[in-house]
Amino acid sequence: MEKFRQFVVFLGAAALLGSLSVVIVVIWVLHWRGGLAWDYGLLEFNWHPVLSTTGLIFINGFGIIIYRLPWTWNIRKPLMKYIHAGMNIVTFVLMVISLLAVFDFHNSKKIPNMYSLHSWIGLAAVIMHALQLLLGLCTFLLPCTPTFIRTFYMSFHVGVGLFIFGMSVTAAEMGITEKLIFSLRSGSNTTLPYSQSPPEAILVNTLGVFILLFGGCILWIAIHPEWKRPPEHLKENVGGEDASILNKTNVSAEIGNENIPEGIERLRHLHFEDVGQRATF
C-alpha cells in the first residue's frame, strides 16, 4: 500500500478527533446544558447534537472509509457491504431520533421549524442519506440487481455520499453556532455571554474545530485512489499465495514501500479506468 504511514496518520487522527467530538458533545450537554431526558423541553433538545454528532458525523464518516482499512481486505466483499450498510442504518435510526427530539422541542415551545440555514442543509442531508441508503440497499445488496446497474450507479453513490458527509459537517458547524448564540445570550442565566468567551464557548468552539478536522481526515482518506480496497477479481486472480500476502499488508507496508511484496505491488498498479467503478474512489 502506497504511503501507508500517511494513511495510518490520517486514520488515527480521524479516530481520535471523531471520538473526542462525541465525548465533548456529551460533556457539553451533561455539564452545561442540564443533561438528557425526553421531556419535550431543552433536555430533549440535547439529544439532537449528541445523536447527530454520533450518527451523521462519526458513524457515517467511518462508514465511508470502512472499505479502505487494509485489515479488512481479507474479509469477503459481501460481508463488508453488510457492515457498510449496517453503519448507515444505525446512522439513519439515530438521525430519526435526533430530528424527533428537535421537532418535539420546537413544537412544545412554539418555535417555528425549518427556518434556519442549519435546518435546511441538515434536513436535506438526512433525507439524502435516507434515499442513498435505500438506493444503495436495492442496488448493491439485492442479488437480482444487474451488474450494469451497479456499475452505472456506483460513481453517483460515491459522489453523493461524500457530498452528504460534507453537508453534515457544515450543518454541525452551523448548529453549534446557533446553539451557542441562543443559549449564551447577554442577560441569560449564564455568567458570561458568547461574546465574552466563557469556558463553555471555548470548549464547544473546539468541538467545531475537531469536527471540521475529522471531516477533512475522512475526505482525505476517501479521495485517495491508491488507498482503495483492491478489486475482488484481482484478489481472486492473484491466487492463494498472493491472497495470503493481503493478510500481511499492514505488516509489510509498515516496513516501507521498497519492501512491499510483489503481490501487493501488482494490486496497487490499478488503472485510472477503475476510478469511480468501486465503492470509494
Q: How far is the CB of 90 from its own copies (least distance, A)?
A: 25
Stretch binding its own copies (CB under 8 A), from 13-21, 41-49, 81-89, 109-117: 109-117
Q: Is 118 in the site for its own copies (CB under 8 A)?
A: yes
Smallest Cα–Cα separation from 220: which of 266, 265, 169, 145?
A: 169
Give buried/exposed letters for 84-98 (b at 16+ CB in 10 A, else e).
Answer: bbebbeebbebbeeb
- List 79, 111, 141, 142, residue binding its own copies (CB under 8 A): 111
Q: Is 1 in the site for its own copies (CB under 8 A)?
A: no
- List 82, 103, 115, 152, residue binding its own copies (CB under 8 A): 115
* Interface of this chain with its own copies, residues 241 to 280, rule: CB under 8 A: 268-272, 275
- The DSSP code for 151 is H
Helix (H), strand (E), coil (C) string for 158-193 = HHHHHHHHHHHHHHHHHHHHHHHHHHCCCCCCCCCC
Alpha-carbon span 260 to 264, nearest angstrom = 7
Q: Count the helices and strands in the chain (H runs, E runs).
A: 12, 0
Q: Are 123 and 168 in contact (CB under 8 A)?
A: no
x/- site string to its own copies, residues 183 to 212, per CB under 8 A?
-----------xxxx---x--xx--xx--x
Q: How far is the CB of 188 from its own copies (least distance, A)?
A: 14
Binding site for its own copies (CB under 8 A): 2, 111-112, 115-118, 120-121, 159, 163, 166-167, 169-170, 173-174, 176-178, 180-182, 194-197, 201, 204-205, 208-209, 212, 215-216, 219-220, 223-226, 268-272, 275
